[in-house]
Structure 1
Amino acid sequence: MLTPSFELQQNKDFLTIIIKAPFAKVAETEIFIEENGFKFYSKPYFLRLTLPGNIVEDGREKADYDVEKGIFTVLVPKETSGEHFEGLDMLTKLLAPQKKTKDVSPLIEVINDDDDDSNIGNDNTDNDDGDDFDWCIEQEPYVEKQGLLDAPKYGFANQKSGVFQRLQEEMVYVVDCPDPDQCNLTDRRKLRLDTEWEKFDEDHYLADLFEDENIQQILNYKPRFYDEVKLLNIGQSVEKIIEFDDDERDILKKLPRKEYILDSIEKSHVYLGLVDIIYAYTYNHRCTEGENHCESGWTISKISATLSWLEVFTSIKEVIQCCYRRSLCYPLYRHWCLNDTVLHDVIQILRLGRRCILKILLEIRSIMMDQENRYLLNDLYITDYCVWIQSSSAKKLQSLAQALSKVMY
């Protein structure tokens, strides 16, 4: 667990606790208030404060989360209005656990009869080894480190660094790249290619080639994209063809309001990364016939080198080669015709434009949010893509579709 950076402010009635937690799983945030104790948990962050005065939970407390800054602001009422809390800048003291009261042994101790086995196998008996969260773990104040200018970059538009170093325990199994904060793009790519060669299984590929009943069924599946393209071609507006449901509209309202200033090279990287992510999504969509399951997050992140290796592409050819390679190395179905069909699906999606892509990105975001630690990929890539795609170039998406068609045919 990580101790987040925090600060405290006060007035005569309230204590304000400002917690910086940019990679928190907000949907599972828990806050506890009891006398002079304050506890905050939002994976992977944990904060326990022992305050110099009592606070209460009386209906006036509230908490807000700033999506753009990744900051929780928690307003907690003081038990005694007008009381001044001393030493709110003494962070180490505030983080120290409460002193335990000395255990007093009971005057009479009841010892179970060794011969009484009536409770054996009873699930209702107390168990001291339960899986409850340990609220007494040691904490250490977090000090923000200055990132090196030449540190390896990754994430949306290659603009993040140092994330894995801080979230090392949480990032296990999220990406395939070992130690991304010490591994530049060239090294990451070499490791990825070497790993793909090792993972390619000739027997699995040949089995899918000659025993392809299941794959033929997948190839015959028609995703909704094809019907939507037909409607678009006969003149229907994309707004009527593709509509957002209430849940999607709620998510869109909560997305950060950002403006991305990217140069031509960064824009190219972002568009090519989008093709990679959409290909991985479409592979999963076709193989599950539109019904996501518990392995969907793994499939999408595994096929997409952007998500699994923090890859940055420089050409359409690179993207397609990578998508095909990974589709023949990792998922359950490994068939060249399946790869071609998935690529054709991607072309239809790009033709439908930003509205269709945004809906797909929101679905990917929801899939990752339900995974153990893969929700962190939303913070690195998917959420930014959801915001950026709304102002992306429609002409560029159409040119990507044309470029993919030329490579395919």
Structure 2
Amino acid sequence: MLTPEFSITQDDDFIFICIKIAAIRFSAANLEMLVDENLFIFHLSPYYLRLRFTQHLVDDERSNAEFKSQDETIRIRIPKATKGEFFDDLDLPTKLLARKGDILGADAVKAPSKSNAGPLIQEIDTPGENGNLEQAGEDFNWEISQTPMPPSDATRLLTSKYGFDDNYSSVIGVSIANGNDINELDDPEKSNAEDRVQERLRKENLKFDPEYYVSEYMTAKYGNEDDIQINGIKSLLKFTPPLVKKFLKWYKQADDKEAVMSVEFTEVEQQQMQKNLPKKTYLVDDVKKLYITMLSLLFAYMYEQVENEGVHNTESAWTIGKLAPQLSFLDQQVITESAASELSVIKAIVLTGIRRSLSYPLHRNFDLSIKVWNYVYYTLRGGKRLVIQALLDLHEVFRFHDVYYVYNTVLISDLCAWFIIAGNENIIRSLAIELKKELDQVTKKDIDFDCVCGIDESSGEVSWENMNIEEMEILSEQEYLQQSGRPA
């Protein structure tokens, strides 16, 4: 059976479903339709469509179906059970196509009642106390459970699982032979979760270039007008990604600033959800891990948007992939088991994003990284639909790449489809609150690296020194001021 293309609109009385049936001879006798409360089923061989709405329909004499030969569509009109009732999410085809269990699971966390809900934010630039919603964020435990691998599990020693809900294997290893430059694992098919974290931390230290970072910092602070113009950092710091700009415009005009932003999906986005995302039933072991992964992907996406000033290019997938540890290292654990009790997973994600943004992109600037994390906060504050728009755009970046499409296969496609069906506004808000809380406490002293400080000529042993970026900046400024004869 084929799932046909469809679109849905509504008025006060009816739901209107437009179904496209291409390259078949229409026969009214073979057409079957069923309406049962919130369930609608359409069948015309070889097409089969099952939609599950959030509100109820009725099947009476007002129902109607008409075939339009000019555009090969069937236009169906179905009455609403309650006149004037607004049907939600008619532009989310992935959610409408979900099975019954998926829809029920999407509402597992209840939204706070209007009467006792406190404001999510008082001001965009300087958030105040968040009342009951902040308490709701604290009540939702964002810590990812640490489950050690059983010693007797010999199969995992031979092949490891990774990707969405650890459901994939033997995919990334094959892509390496095709030129997968995002991957940084020595052996992705035989590394467990703890190995990935440790290998990532070790290679982040090796990748970080103190001289590059200091040069960027000094240019931004002491460079002349020509140097700053060539470097481009000032223009990037002023750039606001389109989705964030849309949210800020809505927020400025919104009467109820606690509300979720109203977002309408374009026809292109609806087609993408219908055609390019999987139609699966997801039984997820740990939803918190998926929200954390989404947080990291949003940072990588927003950084790429700023770096390229809103226009994707041939390096966009590489940039996103390098900044997201869930892609470059298949690392969804993020924290080593020994550090899990000392560091919150959200702070670990924030620090990891900043560390990687100071090691891989062309522009490596702490203030830019913090600004991008604030863009992620605004996106989460906009609500589920704004996040979906970001994920869909990110998905398209990887879908069109000849090699990096494998990351859609193992993670991004499933994450998009799952989030459309099961993403919860209340959890998104609590994630936004926790992110902002951690972000406001991050300083340059938190961003440290083990840097190479020398090599023993006789033994060849490398000497390391741990330094944070504030210390690097102070040393570079002192040297600059001494050389220029200016007082320190």
TM-score (norm 2): 0.51
Asked if 1:262 is matched to 2:281, the reply is no
Asked if 1:332 is matched to 2:362, the reply is yes
Q: Which residue of 2 aligns with 1:182?
A: 190
**Residue 269 of structure 1: CA displacement?**
1.0
Q: Is the 8 A contact 1:229 1:351 kept in 2?
A: no
Select 1:223's aligned residue among 241, 258, 262. Answer: 241
Q: Which residue of 1 aligns with 2:203?
A: 195
Q: Is the 8 A contact 2:350 2:439 kept in 1?
A: no
Larger RCO (alpha carbons 8 Å, 6+ apart) = 2
Select 2:377's aligned residue among 334, 347, 372. Answer: 347
Q: Which residue of 2 aligns with 1:321?
A: 351
Q: Which residue of 2 aligns with 1:397?
A: 428
- Give 1:148-187 correspondences, 5 Å limit: 148=155, 151-165=159-173, 169-170=177-178, 172-187=180-195
Q: Is the 8 A contact 2:260 2:382 kept in 1?
A: no
SS across alignment from 2:189: helix
TM-score (norm 1): 0.60
SS across alignment from 1:211: helix
Identity %, equivalent residues: 29
- Give 1:201-216 correspondences, 5 Å limit: 201-212=209-220, 213=228, 214-216=232-234
Q: Which residue of 2 aligns with 1:288?
A: 308
In the aligned structure 2, how far is the partner of 1:345 from the partner of 1:167? 32
**Residue 272 of structure 1: CA displacement?**
0.6
Matched letter for residue 362 of structure 2: L
Structure 1's unaligned 5+ residue stretches are: 1-62, 65-146
Report how many residues are paired. 263
308 and 319 in structure 1: CA distance in 2 versus 1, 3 angstrom threshold: same
Q: Deviations over 1:174-198 (max 9, x none)?
A: 4111221111111111111111111
Q: Is the 8 A contact 2:216 2:363 kept in 1?
A: yes
Matched letter for residue 412 of structure 2: I
**Residue 199 of structure 1: CA displacement?**
1.0
Structure 2's unaligned 5+ residue stretches are: 1-45, 48-153, 221-227, 336-344, 441-488
SS across alignment from 2:197: helix
Alignment RMSD (CA, Å): 2.5
In the aligned structure 1, how far is the partner of 2:180 from the partner of 2:241? 34
205 and 166 in structure 1: CA distance in 2 versus 1, 3 angstrom threshold: closer
- Give 1:135-146 correspondences, 5 Å limit: none
**Residue 336 of structure 1: CA displacement?**
0.5
**Residue 408 of structure 1: CA displacement?**
1.5
- Give 1:10-29 correspondences, 5 Å limit: none
Q: Which residue of 2 aligns with 1:86?
A: none
In the aligned structure 2, how far is the partner of 1:168 from the partner of 1:181? 11
Q: Which residue of 2 aligns with 1:50?
A: none
